[in-house]
């Protein structure tokens, strides 16, 4: 089998790659809705891949992997990898998990992820109410995650920290600094109020930053030890920060019993090496659509497991094809897998242009592993074509 074309189009808000072969099989991969600018980044690899056998996934990846980097520059490489696995699975007539070593579980756990409701105000009462809503969702999530501190508009509150939050929609480098005593007290009160609602039925994880100074991160992590949080995510670095600072994380992690999590922005296994080998965090959270692909994520999960570190993959905006990739790889992960962040279709019509998803998708926080060949969820070209931009009209040709 040979690759004859590599295409990329926006479907709704999500960039989607299509790899075309000479045997009539196509493979798809989808990136986050937050990265609508990816198309030229994907297409730069077209010439490198045409003529290669897509079922030799690793050989194809060796040609392009060096051209990626930390988020968002790992996404084009990663979604090409998903499309290659999709083809390899379809060609072999098996779900992709079989090619990654086989599944070790028939259902995978997920947490609320992109199912979230904007907060009007940032008070303990409002955060408790938000948790009450998340607890009541029909998906029956047994873990929910809430954004707080620098990972939320809370940073714009008066005297929250000794700095001024950037007004841009991005988490900017201005959005960091020492917390005020008032800010720290508010955060601890919010945790208490949220756990009051969730009790021990539903685990609470917090997406926190990045932006904390290490001394505040430690004071907060210690203050919330009685609440048995699932994890504190990206306090020091993370999200779009193009470095890790494993040694600073290590000091924090080794000084508190509250689990510390990071890794959604990190590209490739090599950049998890210090974090894992020095036990600098308790939980790692690579995104299969940023880290270099699903096989890359599987490798990191196995290496983390060897070191007693847990795995909770990121995936907020990855859409329904990205969901399929998460399901396939998480079915194969060792016992350190906790749950992945649940992505939903950005527009409701996404569920009408794909086939293969269970209905309902999530029951009691779990998703049945999809048993169809390839990634298990496929675009229906006749249904999806109407959502292509005019310049992408030939995407399914
Ligand atoms: Mg996050």
378's enclosing H/E stretch is strand 378-379
**319: closest CA among 372, 271, 375?**
375
Q: How close is the Cα of 10 to the center of ligand 1, in Å?
A: 24
Mean pLDDT score, 62-89: 98
Report pLDDT digits (tens) over 251-279: 999 999 999 999 999 999 999 999 999 99
- 185's CB contacts (< 8 A; 6+ apart) are none
* C-alpha to C-alpha distance for 235 and 320, rounded to whole angstroms: 28
Percentage above 70 pLDDT, the chain: 98
Q: How close is the Cα of 247 to the center of ligand 1, in Å?
A: 20
* pLDDT beyond 70 at 57: yes
Question: Which residue's structure tokens are 């074509």?
Answer: 385
Question: Where is pLDDT greater, at 250 or 164?
Answer: 250
Q: 176 with 216: CB under 8 angstroms?
A: no
The structural domains of the chain, with segments of one domain joined by +, span 3-93+380-392, 99-374
* C-alpha to C-alpha distance for 141 and 164, rounded to whole angstroms: 35
Q: How close is the Cα of 334 to the center of ligand 1, in Å?
A: 22
Which of 92-101, 125-134, 159-168, 258-267 shows the lowest mean pLDDT across its residues?
A: 159-168
Widest CA span in the chain? 64
Cβ atoms < 10 Å from Cβ of 223 = 17
Q: How close is the Cα of 345 to the center of ligand 1, in Å?
A: 18
Mean pLDDT score, 167-180: 78
Which of 181-185, 193-197, 244-248, 388-392 shows the lowest mean pLDDT across its residues?
A: 388-392
232's enclosing H/E stretch is strand 231-233
* C-alpha to C-alpha distance for 283 and 167, rounded to whole angstroms: 31
Burial of 1 (0-12, 13-18, 19+ CB in 10 A): middle
Q: How close is the Cα of 388 to the center of ligand 1, in Å?
A: 29
**The pLDDT of residue 261:** 98
> How does residue 172 score in pLDDT terms, banded at 50, 70 and 90?
low
Mean pLDDT score, 125-153: 96
Give the CATH H-level superfamily of domain 3-93+380-392.
Enolase-like, N-terminal domain (3.30.390.10)
* pLDDT beyond 70 at 321: yes
Q: How close is the Cα of 312 to the center of ligand 1, in Å?
A: 10
Mean pLDDT score, 68-91: 98
Question: Which residue's structure tokens are 């508010």?
Answer: 186
User: According to the CATH classification, is domain 99-374 in 3.90.1640.30?
Assistant: no
Question: Where is pLDDT greater, at 171 or 375?
Answer: 375
Return the percent helix, strand and coil in the chain, to nearest 5: 40, 15, 45
Report pLDDT digits (tens) over 207-232: 999 999 999 999 999 999 999 999 99
**The pLDDT of residue 70:** 98
**The pLDDT of residue 171:** 63
Q: How close is the Cα of 365 to the center of ligand 1, in Å?
A: 19
**The pLDDT of residue 383:** 97
**The pLDDT of residue 120:** 87
**The pLDDT of residue 174:** 73
Q: How close is the Cα of 281 to the center of ligand 1, in Å?
A: 15
Q: Whole-number mean pLDDT of the chain?
A: 96
Q: How close is the Cα of 21 to the center of ligand 1, in Å?
A: 36
> How does residue 164 score in pLDDT terms, banded at 50, 70 and 90?
confident
Q: How close is the Cα of 314 to the center of ligand 1, in Å?
A: 7
Percentage above 90 pLDDT, the chain: 94
Q: How close is the Cα of 163 to the center of ligand 1, in Å?
A: 22
**The pLDDT of residue 279:** 98
**The pLDDT of residue 170:** 63
Q: How close is the Cα of 384 to the center of ligand 1, in Å?
A: 30
Mean pLDDT score, 236-251: 96
């Amino acid at each position: 089998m040979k690759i004859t074309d590599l295409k990329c189009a926006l479907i709704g808000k999500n960039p989607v790659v299509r790899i075309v072969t000479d045997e009539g099989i196509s493979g798809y991969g989808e990136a986050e809705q937050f990265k609508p600018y990816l198309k030229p980044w994907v297409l730069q690899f077209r010439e490198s891949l045409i003529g290669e056998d897509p079922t030799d996934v690793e050989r194809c990846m060796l040609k392009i992997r060096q051209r990626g980097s930390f988020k968002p520059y790992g996404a084009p490489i990663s979604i090409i990898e998903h499309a290659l696995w999709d083809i390899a699975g379809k060609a072999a007539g098996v779900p992709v998990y079989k090619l990654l070593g086989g599944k070790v579980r028939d259902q995978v756990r997920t947490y609320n992820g992109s199912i979230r409701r904007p907060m009007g105000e940032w008070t303990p009462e409002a955060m408790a109410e938000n948790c009450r809503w998340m607890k009541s969702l029909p998906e029956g999530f047994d873990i929910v995650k809430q954004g707080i501190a620098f990972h939320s508009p809370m940073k714009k509150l008066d005297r929250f920290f000794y700095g001024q939050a950037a007004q841009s929609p991005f988490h900017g480098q201005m959005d960091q600094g020492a917390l005020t005593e008032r800010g720290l007290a508010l955060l601890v009160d919010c945790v208490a109020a949220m756990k009051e609602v969730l009790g021990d039925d539903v685990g609470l994880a917090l997406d926190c930053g990045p932006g904390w100074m290490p001394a505040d991160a430690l004071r907060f992590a210690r203050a919330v030890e009685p609440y048995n949080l699932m994890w504190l995510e990206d306090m020091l670095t993370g999200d779009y920060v193009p470095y890790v600072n494993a040694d600073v994380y290590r000091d924090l992690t080794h000084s508190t019993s509250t689990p510390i999590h990071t890794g959604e922005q990190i590209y490739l296994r090599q950049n998890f090496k210090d974090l894992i080998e020095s036990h600098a965090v308790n939980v790692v959270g690579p995104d299969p659509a940023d880290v270099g692909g699903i096989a890359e994520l599987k490798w990191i999960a196995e290496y983390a497991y060897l070191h007693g570190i847990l795995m909770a993959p990121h995936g907020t905006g990855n859409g329904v094809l990205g969901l399929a990739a998460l399901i396939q790889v998480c079915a194969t992960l060792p016992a350190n897998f906790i749950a992945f962040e649940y992505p939903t279709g950005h527009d409701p019509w996404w569920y009408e242009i794909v086939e293969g998803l269970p209905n309902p998708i999530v029951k009691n926080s779990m998703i049945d592993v999809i048993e169809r060949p390839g990634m298990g969820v496929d675009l229906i070209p006749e249904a999806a074509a109407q959502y292509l931009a005019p310049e992408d009209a030939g995407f399914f040709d």
